[in-house]
């Protein structure tokens, strides 16, 4: 509809970036709340009793690596390597799923330990913060799934690589958010 854009940046890509800029504020608000309420719990269980660093380190690693899969997938699509694209897209989504499973295990462990959503300030802030992130991951997985199907149908030609690139931007951003959350929630006390 419109040929070369005034900035030279593809319109949808620019759109994704502006959206990401806005998402920064979204997570900043959640993180602020988490930090403001840290250490104001009146009843336990308290975070230091429950947070399982080694376990989370693993899932964190998985999510990091999913970002690697993502860039490889994009590169493959751009080079028109169909089988590679399929593989890496699949791996990205798979690693995303593994991360979500990890989160599910963690959540159910907390609940089992009596730390329900409305137990204390930590649980409220923790679940909503990590839950929002998890929702973003889930959305990304679904998106990747559709891309994978497109690739399967052979409809991800190099010309349509931009679609994958945009999904990638989103995916990496979700990863970046986790880098921050991992440090703030689990390591900083």
Residues 28-87 that bind another protein (CB under 8 A): 28-33, 35-37, 40-43, 53-54, 57, 60-61, 64-65, 67-68, 70-72, 74-75, 78
The residue among 112 and 118 lying less far from another protein, judged by its C-beta, is: 118
- The beta strand positions in the chain, using DSSP E, are none
User: Position of tokens 């994978």?
Assistant: 148
Burial class (CB in 10 A: 0-12, 13-18, 19+), 31: middle
Range in contact with another protein (rule: CB under 8 A) among 95-103, 107-115, 170-178:
170-178
**How many Å apart are CA 159 and CA 89, to the nearest integer?**
17
Output the smallest distance, CB 91 to another protein, in A: 13
Half-sphere exposure of 100 (CA within 13 A, CB side): 18
Range in contact with another protein (rule: CB under 8 A) among 90-98, 101-109, 181-189:
181-189
Rule CB under 8 A: is residue 128 a binding residue for another protein? yes
Residue span 150-169 as binding mask against another protein, x where in contact by CB under 8 A, dash where not: -----------x---x--xx
**How many Å apart are CA 88 and CA 92, to the nearest integer?**
6
Q: What is the sign of the dihedral through the CA atoms of 7, 12, 13 and 16?
A: positive
Count of residues that interact with another protein, criterion CB under 8 A: 75
Work out which of 17, 55, 90, 107 binds another protein, going by CB under 8 A: 17
Nearest alpha-carbon partner for 149 in 133, 167, 137, 135: 167
Output the smallest distance, CB 28 to another protein, in A: 4
Rule CB under 8 A: is residue 20 a binding residue for another protein? yes
Rule CB under 8 A: is residue 138 a binding residue for another protein? no
């Amino acid at each position: 509809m419109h040929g070369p854009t005034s900035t030279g940046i593809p319109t949808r890509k620019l759109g994704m970036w502006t959206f990401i800029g806005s998402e920064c504020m979204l997570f900043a608000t959640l993180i602020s709340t988490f930090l403001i309420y840290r250490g104001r719990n009146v009843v336990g269980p308290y975070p230091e009793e429950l947070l399982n660093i080694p376990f989370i380190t693993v899932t964190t690693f998985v999510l990091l690596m999913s970002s690697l899969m993502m860039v490889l997938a994009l590169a493959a699509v751009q080079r028109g390597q169909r089988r590679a694209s399929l593989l890496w897209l699949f791996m990205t989504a798979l690693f995303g799923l593994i991360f979500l499973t990890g989160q599910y295990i963690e959540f159910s462990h907390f609940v089992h330990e009596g730390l329900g959503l409305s137990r204390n300030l930590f649980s409220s802030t923790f679940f909503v913060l990590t839950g929002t992130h998890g929702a973003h991951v889930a959305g990304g997985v679904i998106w990747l799934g559709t891309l994978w199907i497109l690739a399967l149908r052979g409809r991800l030609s190099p010309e349509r690589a931009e679609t994958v690139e945009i999904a990638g931007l989103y995916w990496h951003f979700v990863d970046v958010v986790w880098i921050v959350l991992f440090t703030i929630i689990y390591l900083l006390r």
